[in-house]
Each structure stands twice: as structure tokens, then as C-alpha cells.
């Protein structure tokens, strides 16, 4: 079985470490000057070299050669995820009192130290306060915020950072040449970007890709393997956003998800693309902010469509209207009298129409919108009256939406079954209406959801096949 590339190309000395020079320089100077601390804390994202540097540091403190397969009795690694009890730390406290076997220092590497229990931290604290002269602790964690302040105050802390994308690409190119992996530069850049600043993740992806293609690894292959959106898709989405082409946006997002590209991935790639081009496209600044909300919703594909369907910065939204009729030719003026003007048709008073569930709706020429007038209504008092007289209807009313125009109370039950159950208590509903002071009002119960107030949201829900607006 071949060795994994990330292990094969793991750093062996502090000079080999890439992208963390702010740490390795200090550590090399400290070792050269004989200034060895009794405890170090290495913090930062996963896959950026914390464990590798911990092992290298342990060996260089003791002037021992290091390779990935080497072991030494005086260098002990502990996984805090599985050895996190107070008994484990008490056992460690007893062992640290024993002098090193052959090295100058006994070094304990505790990985993912934030996983220790509270009592285990308390037990470790005593040892960190008064450690034996021959012991060095190297603590590593991806979540330093979970460490007690008393622990952090007793260690030298080194904060690791994500690796610069250019450094990752250069390192991957070196590995690809050494392993005779044919891959073009654009594909290397995609691998580095997907790795998110982690050497380990980037090298592992390169390792996976080398077995999938006998030819040169292309960006298309990388996108297919990791479920990324193509650059063309990202560009098309931004173009459709600028023109507010909702139909194209819906089609592009649906097609991408069919190919295995999630809405969250699309949102992340849009954010990355906009960040890189914001100086030349400042109109995307508002879009950049709202894209961050896609990851916060249980319906990311709907949220992504809603966000992209919103107008670009400075864009004026006009309601769709029929094409205007050609303007009539102007009537020439004469000295005698102005041209006769056509008489305006008399205005008709609006007709109030009540549509019930049983009456078919006329063919739509425009989307129905939420009622323009939505006056305050004592809904809580209304359903409280129903609660004591029809508990089944009350439970459904509590989940329903409503509108009130001063005369008609419209209840949106959401489902035909809910409407049927509420209709059975219509007598109690009428009494409840009287009880809140609307004696001349009427009640309409609909089996549909309440129409969104935002016309953009209404467009999106219509394209997505219906739904209900949820305000988070």
C-alpha cells in the first residue's frame, strides 16, 4: 500500500515548514539560544502544521533527528479526545516525575487539548504551575477559546494561520513534479482554493485526483470531484443577478444542484469571486453581505435564489407592465383654437368582491399580491376566545396567518384539511369577532398560505413551485 502524499511530504525540520515563518523563526532562535519554555500552546485551523511542528519541536529540543516513522521513549503523544478524564491526567502527573530515559527533556504532546474535561484541566494546571525541570509540554488545539484562561496564562502561545494560496500552489506543484502527476496550473489553483488554506486537505485532494485520470488533470475534473461550481456558472449567476433575470437564476441553481453542486458551495464561490473583484465591481458589495445569510437558513437553495433575485446596488425595480402603445402623432397647434382633447372615461367606483374556495379563480394576468390595507387586529384576543370553545380550531388558528382590512378578517389556514376543521367552528369564530368589537365584520377562511408582502419573494416562491414566506 502506497504512503499518503500528505505524510510522505510532511516537514521534517523547522526549515522545511512552509507558510508559518512567524512561528518557526522564533522557535529556531529560542532553541539556538537555549531558551526552552516549559509549556507551548499551538493554536489555529486544522491542517496547517500544528502537529508536525509539535513533533519537530520535540525532537529539536532534544537534538534528535525526526522522520515520520521515528519514535522515542521520551517523546509521548496523547490524544486528548480519547484521554480526557481526570484519571488520565493524574496518571500523566505521576509519569512526568520520572526522569527521561536518554534525552535531555521528556516532552509530552497533547493534541486537541480543548477536549479535556474541566476536572482534567484542573489536574493539569497544577503540573503546569510547577513542572519538573526535565519536562516540556506542547499543547495543540483547533479551538483555543475552550481552554481555561488559567491554562493559557501558563504557556507560550503561537497562533498558526491559514496558508497563502500562492504558497499552497507552489508546494503542490513541487509535489506534482516529484510524483509525475500531470496537472495544469488552473487545476492546481482550484485544488488550493478548495483546500481552504490547509496543506493537508490540499495535498490529500491532489492524491485523490492522481488516480482518477490518466491524462492531465483539468479544472473540470477538479470541479466534478469536489462538487464545485464552474467559473462559467458563477459568471452567469452574477450576470443574471445584474439583469434581475429570475427565471435564469432559478434554472442555473436547479441545474447546478442536479449536478451535485450545493447552494452553500455556490454561495461560497460567489463570495470568493466577489471579494477578488470588489475593487472593479463595487456594485456587488450589497450582494456580498446578503450571501452570508445563505448558510443560516434551512432552505439554502431558496435563500440563494431570493438573494440573487434582489436588485443590484443602485438598480431601480419597476413592476412589470404591458408594452406601451405607440404615441399618437402630436396635433399641430393653430391660432384659432387648441386641438380638441379626448374626454376621460368616467371613473368607476371599485367593486368589492369576495372569492371563496369553491369559486374558480379567473385566469391570472398578474400575480396576486398581499392586501394593501392590513389594519391592526386583536388576533391574540380573538383566538383566546376560540380556545375555550373549540380547542381543535384554536390549535390550527395559532399556526395560521391573517389579514384584516377593517371589515373582512381573512384567515390563511395553509392547507385544505386545516380550513375544513376551522370551518367547523365558524359559529365560535363569529362570536369571537363580536367579542373583540368587530360586530359588522365578516370572516373568510382560505386553504392557502398568506401571500408575501415582498413582490420579489412572491416571484421567487412562484418560480420554486409555491411555498410560504418565513421570516427568521
Q: What is the mean pLDDT of residues 197-202?
A: 86
pLDDT of 363 > 70? The answer is no
Residues in the chain: 472
> Pairing mode, if any, of strands 106-111 and 75-79?
parallel
Using CA atoms, how far apart are residues 138 and 39, in angstroms rounded to an integer?
A: 6
User: Among residues of the chain, what percentage have pLDDT more than 70?
Assistant: 81
Half-sphere exposure of 27 (CA within 13 A, CB side): 27
pLDDT for 463: 56
Q: What is the mean pLDDT of residues 448-465?
A: 62
Please report how the helices 231-243 and 300-309 are oriented relative to each other, as an axis angle in degrees rounded to 10. Answer: 50
Weakest mean pLDDT among 68-82, 174-188, 451-465: 451-465
pLDDT of 67 > 80? The answer is no
CB 109 within 8 A of CB 78: yes
Hey, how many other C-beta atoms are within 10 angstroms of the C-beta on 188?
Answer: 23
Beta strands in 351-459 (DSSP E): 401-404, 408-412, 442-446
Q: Measured in Å, how far apart are the chain's first and last C-alpha atoms?
A: 51
pLDDT of 331 > 80? The answer is no
pLDDT-derived band at 454, boundaries 50, 70, 90? low
Residue from 11, 70, 1 nearest 203 by CA: 11
pLDDT of 460 > 60? The answer is no
Q: Give pLDDT tens digits for 277-290.
A: 888 888 888 888 88
pLDDT of 79 > 70? The answer is yes
pLDDT of 457 > 60? The answer is no
Residue from 169, 104, 161 nearest 132 by CA: 104
CB 138 within 8 A of CB 54: yes
- Please indicate whether residue 265 or residue 349 has the higher confidence score (pLDDT): 265
pLDDT for 55: 92
- Please indicate whether residue 23 or residue 459 has the higher confidence score (pLDDT): 23
Mean of pLDDT over the chain: 80
pLDDT for 2: 64
Q: What is the mean pLDDT of residues 415-423?
A: 88
pLDDT-derived band at 9, boundaries 50, 70, 90? confident
pLDDT of 471 > 50? The answer is no
2: its cell numbers: 502506497
* 113 CB burial (10 A radius; 0-12, 13-18, 19+): buried
Q: Which of 201-215, 336-350, 357-371 has the highest mean pLDDT?
A: 201-215
pLDDT for 324: 47
Residue from 85, 87, 83, 155 nearest 112 by CA: 83
- Between the alpha carbon of residue 322 and those of residues 319, 369, 415, the distances in Å are 10, 18, 34
Using CA atoms, how far apart are residues 9 and 31, in angstroms rounded to an integer?
A: 24
Using CA atoms, how far apart are residues 2 and 336, in angstroms rounded to an integer?
A: 102
- Please indicate whether residue 326 or residue 227 has the higher confidence score (pLDDT): 227
Residue from 422, 420, 415, 403 nearest 468 by CA: 415
pLDDT-derived band at 216, boundaries 50, 70, 90? confident
Weakest mean pLDDT among 3-17, 22-36, 133-147, 443-457: 443-457
pLDDT of 375 > 70? The answer is yes
Q: What is the mean pLDDT of residues 7-14?
A: 85
Using CA atoms, how far apart are residues 434 and 162, in angstroms rounded to an integer?
A: 66
Q: Give pLDDT tens digits for 151-169.
A: 999 999 999 988 888 888 9
pLDDT-derived band at 371, boundaries 50, 70, 90? very low
pLDDT for 447: 87
pLDDT-derived band at 301, boundaries 50, 70, 90? confident
- Between the alpha carbon of residue 289 and those of residues 45, 160, 245, 271, 286, the distances in Å are 24, 27, 20, 9, 5
pLDDT of 90 > 90? The answer is no
pLDDT of 13 > 50? The answer is yes
pLDDT of 336 > 50? The answer is no
pLDDT of 128 > 70? The answer is yes
User: Among residues of the chain, what percentage have pLDDT more than 90?
Assistant: 22
Largest CA distance in the chain: 121
pLDDT for 316: 40
DSSP string covering 88-108: HHHHHHHHHTSPPSSSSSEEE
pLDDT for 84: 77
pLDDT of 63 > 60? The answer is yes
Residue 404 per-residue DSSP state: E
pLDDT for 452: 67
Amino acid at each position: 500500500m502506497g504512503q499518503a502524499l500528505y505524510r510522505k511530504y510532511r516537514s521534517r525540520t523547522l526549515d522545511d515548514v512552509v507558510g508559518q515563518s512567524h512561528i518557526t523563526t522564533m522557535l529556531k532562535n529560542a532553541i539556538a539560544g537555549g531558551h526552552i519554555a516549559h509549556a507551548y500552546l499551538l493554536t489555529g485551523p486544522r491542517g496547517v502544521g500544528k502537529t508536525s511542528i509539535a513533533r519537530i519541536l520535540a525532537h529539536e529540543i532534544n537534538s534528535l533527528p525526526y522522520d515520520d516513522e521515528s519514535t522515542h521513549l521520551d517523546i509521548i503523544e496523547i490524544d486528548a479526545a480519547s484521554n480526557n478524564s481526570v484519571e488520565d491526567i493524574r496518571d500523566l502527573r505521576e509519569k512526568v516525575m520520572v526522569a527521561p530515559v536518554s534525552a535531555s527533556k521528556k516532552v509530552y504532546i497533547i493534541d486537541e487539548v480543548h477536549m479535556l474535561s474541566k476536572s482534567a484541566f484542573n489536574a493539569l494546571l497544577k503540573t503546569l504551575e510547577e513542572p519538573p525541570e526535565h519536562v516540556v509540554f506542547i499543547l495543540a488545539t483547533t479551538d483555543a477559546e475552550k481552554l481555561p484562561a488559567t491554562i493559557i496564562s501558563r504557556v507560550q502561545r503561537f497562533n498558526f494561520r491559514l496558508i497563502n494560496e500562492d504558497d499552497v500552489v507552489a508546494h503542490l506543484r513541487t509535489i506534482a513534479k516529484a510524483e509525475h502527476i500531470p496537472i495544469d496550473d488552473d487545476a492546481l489553483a482550484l485544488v488550493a482554493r478548495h483546500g481552504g488554506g490547509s496543506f493537508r486537505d490540499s495535498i490529500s485532494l491532489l492524491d485523490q485526483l492522481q488516480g482518477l485520470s490518466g491524462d492531465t488533470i483539468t479544472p473540470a475534473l477538479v470541479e466534478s470531484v469536489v462538487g464545485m461550481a464552474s467559473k462559467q456558472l458563477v459568471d452567469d449567476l452574477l450576470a443574471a443577478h445584474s439583469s434581475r433575470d429570475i427565471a435564469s437564476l432559478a434554472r442555473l441553481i436547479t441545474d447546478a444542484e442536479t449536478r451535485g453542486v450545493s447552494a452553500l458551495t455556490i454561495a461560497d464561490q460567489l463570495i470568493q469571486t466577489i471579494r477578488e473583484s470588489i475593487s472593479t465591481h463595487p456594485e456587488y458589495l450589497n450582494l456580498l453581505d446578503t450571501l452570508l445569510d445563505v448558510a443560516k437558513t434551512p432552505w439554502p437553495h431558496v435563500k440563494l435564489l431570493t438573494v440573487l433575485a434582489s436588485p443590484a446596488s443602485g438598480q431601480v425595480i419597476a413592476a412589470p407592465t404591458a408594452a406601451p402603445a405607440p404615441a399618437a402623432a402630436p396635433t399641430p397647434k393653430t391660432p384659432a383654437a387648441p386641438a380638441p382633447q379626448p374626454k376621460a372615461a368616467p371613473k368607476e367606483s371599485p367593486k368589492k368582491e369576495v372569492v371563496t374556495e369553491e369559486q374558480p379563480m379567473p385566469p391570472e394576468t398578474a400575480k396576486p399580491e398581499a392586501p394593501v390595507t392590513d389594519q391592526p387586529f386583536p388576533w391574540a384576543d380573538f383566538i383566546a376566545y376560540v380556545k375555550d370553545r373549540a380547542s381543535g380550531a384554536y390549535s390550527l388558528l395559532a399556526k395560521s396567518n391573517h389579514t384584516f382590512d377593517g371589515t373582512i378578517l381573512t384567515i390563511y389556514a395553509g392547507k385544505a384539511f386545516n380550513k375544513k376543521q376551522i370551518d367547523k367552528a365558524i359559529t365560535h369564530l363569529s362570536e369571537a369577532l363580536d367579542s373583540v368589537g368587530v360586530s359588522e365584520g365578516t370572516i373568510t377562511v382560505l386553504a392557502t398560505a398568506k401571500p408575501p408582502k415582498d413582490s420579489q419573494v412572491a416571484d421567487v416562491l412562484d418560480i420554486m413551485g409555491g411555498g410560504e414566506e418565513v421570516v427568521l
